[in-house]
Amino acid sequence: ILLQSLLSSSFGKESTATIKRGLLWQQRKKLFSRWKERYFILTRDYLYCFQRASGADKISEMGQFLFKVKLVDIERVEWENKKTYSIVALVMGRDGKIYLRTPDGLEDWFELIEECTMMSKERRRALRHSHDGRPKDNNNTTASLGEWLAAHHKLRKKFVFQSTLEVSPTNKTKTEEKSPLAYTCLLITRLKSFDM
């Protein structure tokens, strides 16, 4: 379903439908910037940032709106390993970087932001291409993007993030995260076979 909504070129409700939401620690790359816990909502074209709600009468974790990032303005989405934790860096060109981290589920945020950014840029490129007078070949573009995403998900399921370790004599298991760098290297090798 996510793949279909990402590839869809229709606007309206789908363009603002929530793909992922939750609390993340956020920091901008500035001199005296500190980590702050924020509530984020990812849609197919934007990443919205809100303050974390506080007080006894809060209804949800989402507080006051702070800012939004157009996904087409993100140059790169990077995974960075620090000494004690990993972060996702949104490289914004002249606007610097926005860092995101969370103790659980950071890989999902990384992959979804990366995929949504790529698809948003492709929709923008296709829209510009359709308005500049040249013939439009959306079927070919959609097919190659669909193939890329299918390969991406297949490779992820085959390789990434899950292995089983023995935890105790009661045969309970624990999941262990593998290096996203190794996965990224395999993904880059796979991407070279597609002509985007």
pLDDT given at position 6: 43
**Residue 156 contacts by C-beta under 8 Å, 6 or more apart in sequence?**
111, 183
Alpha-carbon gap, residue 122 to 128, rounded angstroms: 10
Which of 51-55, 66-70, 146-150, 190-194 reaches the highest mean pLDDT? 66-70
* CA proximity to 40, closest of 116, 133, 140: 116
Give yes or no for residue 11 having a pLDDT over 70. Answer: no
pLDDT digits (tens, 9 = 90+) for 103-162: 999 999 999 999 999 999 999 998 888 877 655 555 555 556 666 666 666 656 555 444
* Residue 47's pLDDT band (cuts 50, 70, 90): very high
CATH numbers and ranges of domains, the chain: 10-136 (2.30.29.30), 140-196 (no CATH)
pTM of the model: 0.61
pLDDT given at position 184: 54
pLDDT digits (tens, 9 = 90+) for 162-187: 433 334 444 444 444 445 555 555 55
